[in-house]
Chain A
Amino acid sequence: MRKYTPKENVQAKAKYTDRFWVAPQVPRNPVEEDEYFAGVLAAVKEAVEVLDAYIEIGQLVIHIRPEQNIEALRTLKEECGYAMCSELSAVDYLAQDGEFEIFYQLLNLKEAKRVRVLTRIKEDQGIESIVPLYAMANFAEREMYDMFGIYVNNHPYLKRILMPDDWEGHPLRKTYPLEGDEFASWYEVDKIFGKEYRDIIGPENRDPARVDRYDTQRFSRIGHEVPFGADPKSVDTTETPIEYSSEILSDYNKGPHKVLDKRK
């Protein structure tokens, strides 16, 4: 029987996992333990509904509803002093829950404290752009759209950023094949020559060390000269054997060189 391979997550998997293995959890401390973060959380709670909050490895984590991301971030920026958004992106949980998790990593420069705001959206659900609050989201949200296909509403210029504009699929989704799909592997051929040239050009070879021994038109190791495009076997090779010139390959260690052991 053919081996079953799940389609919703084609990423590398652990080769062996013990039956009784239970992954430990990074400790999540209650927010009340930290006086400063408790104040931040109270301010956020006044503005929006907080689903969950805890401190993980020294940073406050707040779970909110996706519709309220603007209000939550505005509160953090204007009331709590989180003037900079360091990073935002998403995590693909489509296979497990049919959802994306979006994170905003914020920084308060005065207190040197960091807060992470997490929210979950459905696959076909958009999220409001935070460009009015943090202009860095202009590039970061474009990258999120490019990599995950998450639509960002009211973004000033929502376009692919890393992949070509006419690309199909979103590479960081767990369903995206590791070596690219059919579109990816034929992208250049289709674009430059047309689909009908797929058979003539042949599939892409990804071996960087590959040399076609009998290709007389590109770089290859034939060892003797042949007319352009001619079959290398048709030429008598007995007169031009492969040999290396001893003049080119000389022993550099013999020469009267001086090696400096200290810089000047």
Chain B
Amino acid sequence: MQQQPNKLRPFFENLEFERDDNRMVINFGPQHPSAHGQLRLILELDGEQVVKAHPDIGYLHRGIEKMAENMIYNEFLPTTDRMDYIASTSNNYAFALAVERLIGLEVPRRAQVIRTMLLELNRIISHLFFLATHALDVGAMSIFLYAFREREFAMDLMEDYCGARLTHSAVRIGGVPLDLPEGWLSDLTAFIDKLPEQIKLYEDLLTENRIWRMRLEDVGIVTPEQALDWGCTGIMLRGSGIEYDIRKEEPYELYDELDFDIPVSDRCDSYGRYRLYMEEMKQSVRILRQLIGMYPKTDSQLMAHAPQYISAPKEEIMTQNYALMQHFVLVTQGMRPPKGTVYAPTESPKGELGFWIRSEGEPYAYRLKARAPSFFHTGILQEILPGTYIADVVTIIGSTNIVFGEVDR
């Protein structure tokens, strides 16, 4: 089998490499270590200045929305792990919440406490990952090691709860499958007692660091108008001085009972966003502390009681014939939510993550659209990169905190 060299001519999308002016076109990625996955940026440079940026995505496209149309709802839940794989539980939760709103389900209180705990723990995991990779991109190697060490302890907690480190699937439609294991809360307490010290260590190393500030201050400016226009959410929006956190404004789970602050920065640059990430971790610690106190006051029910949609508890399935029959139907055919449309936004560590589901009363979703924050944060790159210097491109990509499982779906 011989390859034909003439058929291997690469496809350069009509880019001209020999031009009369002084400009150069370079390919940034898709295999660039700072591209956070499979981002290909086509940059047109004038000297060291970016004149035009064109993000090219789709290298990780797996057709998750198509898969959703061909799976029953429970079957699709583990697939959502593969979107934002840095914080899987936030994806599982966003999907579960959308289906629960569609069928109008009330989740038991203990499940709510556990879910909120997992969501906040995932936020810490994701923010530590952001800090580690962002610092590494900018050139601060030791922060990478420190942040990953701390993240490992958080991942151990996730592993103790659900057995998985990365793809958790720890949330189910209608509740959570498991209660917290023995001693988990004391482990969590030990972790969140230690975390603020670690955050202080990172801040001591970075916040007033001259190089760090020179690399981040006034780099990657996103004005409030741009942020709104390009659909930026989460820290990208709050870093531009607009205070909007879905946990506060459209509360879900227990967030309306919890006491926490929403940090906002009007610096509009990468440095402001970095400060917000650090501050949000501290707020997550605060939330987790309150949740630990809430947990003992709940009774032991973990899954909602809705025989039409959710299987009965295992004891009932094993002892009662009708529960077993319903379980069989729900596993083989799947639940049938009512006809209608739902859009349930949640505040994932990256921004507004929401599932838009159109149900036609079938066991399969007729259409599922995953609104991924990183998709729009990639889109804004073509607006904010022109005018910056090539050395800052990596900082700006790192500061948008995009993850490609979510961009390409």
Contact = CB atoms under 8 A, between A and B. Distances in A.
Interface of A: 11-16, 21, 23-26, 28, 56-57, 59, 61, 83-87, 89, 91-92, 103, 105, 107, 109, 112, 114, 116, 134-136, 138-140, 143, 147, 160-166, 171-172, 176, 178, 191-194, 197, 200-201, 263
B343 A116 contact: yes
Nearest to B98: A57
Interface centre among B7, B61, B379, B409 (most CB of A within 10 A): B379
A192 B363 contact: no
Contacts of A14: 333-334, 336, 362-364
B65 A161 contact: no
B361 interface: yes
Contacts of B366: 91
Given A57-B102, A134-B229, A193-B3, A171 B63 contact: yes
B271 interface: no
Contact of A193 (B7, B360, B379): B7
B343 A59 contact: yes
A72 B104 CA distance: 30
A23 B336 contact: yes
Given A12-B69, A135-B230, A139-B376, A24 B361 contact: yes
Nearest to B102: A26
A191 B8 CA distance: 8
- Which range holds the interface residue count of chain B? 35 or more
Contacts of B363: 14
8 closest A-B pairs by CB: A23-B361, A26-B340, A136-B231, A139-B379, A162-B58, A112-B249, A12-B70, A24-B338
Interface in B37-72: 57-58, 61, 63, 65-66, 69-71
Given A15-B333, A161-B57, A171-B66, A192 B3 contact: yes
B406 interface: no
Contacts of B58: 160-164
A139 B409 CA distance: 14
A83 B229 CA distance: 8
A21 B336 CA distance: 11
Given A91-B358, A162-B61, A192-B8, A26 B339 contact: yes
B70 A11 contact: yes
B153 interface: yes
A26 B369 contact: no
A11 B70 CA distance: 6
B250 A112 contact: yes
Contact of B354 (A87, A135, A197): A87
A168 to B, nearest CB: 15
